[in-house]
Chain A
Amino acid sequence: MGKSSRLAFGEAIAEIGSLNKNIVVLDADLSKSTMSNIFAKKYPDRFFEMGIQEQNMIGVAAGLALSGKIPFICSFSIFLLGRFETIRMSVAYSNTNVKLIGTHCGIGIGEDGYSQMGLEDISLMRSFPNMSIMQPADEIETKEIIKYAAENFGPMFIRLTRQNLEDVHSSNYKFSFGKGDLLFDGNVATVFCTGGVVGNTLAAAKELEKEGIKIRVINIHTIKPIDTDIIIKAAKETNYLFTIEDHSIIGGLGSSVCEVLSENYPKKVKRLGIVNSYGESGSPEALYEKHNLHKEGIINSIKTELKKGV
Chain B
Amino acid sequence: MSKSIEELRKISNEMRADILKMIYYGTSGHPGGSLSSIDILSVLFFNKIKRTQENALDPDRHRFILSKGHGVPALYAVLNRCGLIPTEELWTLRKIGSRLQGHPDRVILPYVEASTGSLGQGLSIAQGMALAAKIDNKNYKVYCMVGDGEIQEGQIWESLLSSPKFKLDNLIVILDYNKGQIDGPTNEVLNLEPLKDKLIAFNWDVQEIDGHDFEQIQKALDNADSSNGKPHFIIANTIKGKGVSFMEGVIDWHGKAPNKEQLEKALEELSKIN
Contact = CB atoms under 8 A, between A and B. Distances in A.
Contacts of A58: 124
Contacts of A53: 158, 161-162
A24 to B, nearest CB: 7
A85 B162 contact: no
Contacts of A69: 132, 135
B155 A64 contact: no
Given A53-B162, A94-B107, A59 B128 contact: yes
Interface in A9-25: 24
A66 B132 CA distance: 9
B130 to A, nearest CB: 8
B194 interface: no
B123 interface: yes
A50 B131 CA distance: 12
A67 B124 contact: no
Interface of B: 59, 105-107, 113-118, 121, 123-133, 135-136, 142, 154-155, 158-159, 161-162, 165-166
15 contacts: A48-B131, A56-B155, A58-B124, A60-B124, A60-B131, A60-B159, A60-B162, A62-B114, A62-B128, A64-B128, A69-B135, A71-B128, A85-B118, A89-B116, A90-B121
A10 B143 CA distance: 35
A55 B161 CA distance: 13
Nearest to A89: B118
Contacts of A278: none
B125 A66 contact: yes
Contacts of B161: 51, 53
Contact of A55 (B105, B124, B128): B124
Nearest to B126: A63
Given A60-B162, A86-B121, A95 B107 contact: yes
Contacts of B59: 67-68
Contacts of B162: 50-51, 53, 56, 60
Interface of A: 24, 45-46, 48, 50-51, 53, 55-56, 58-69, 71, 85-86, 88-90, 93-95
Nearest to B138: A67
Given A59-B121, A60-B162, A66 B128 contact: yes
B139 to A, nearest CB: 13
Nearest to B116: A89
7 closest cross-chain pairs (CB), A and B: A63-B128, A59-B124, A67-B132, A56-B158, A60-B128, A63-B125, A63-B129
A66 to B, nearest CB: 6
A66 B113 CA distance: 8
A58 B128 CA distance: 9
Contact of A61 (B117, B128, B133, B142): B128
Given A55-B155, A56-B159, A86-B155, A62 B132 contact: no
B118 A59 contact: no
B116 A56 contact: no
Nearest to A51: B162
Contacts of A93: 105, 107, 115
Contact of B127 (A59, A71, A86, A94): A59
Nearest to A55: B155
Contacts of B127: 56, 59-60, 63
Contacts of A56: 124, 127, 155, 158-159, 162
Contacts of B133: 67
A67 B121 contact: no
Contacts of A65: 128
A55 to B, nearest CB: 4
A53 B159 CA distance: 9
Contact of A62 (B118, B124, B135, B166): B124
A95 B110 CA distance: 12
Residue from the set B59, B117, B142, B158 with the largest chain A CB neighbour count within 10 Å:
B158
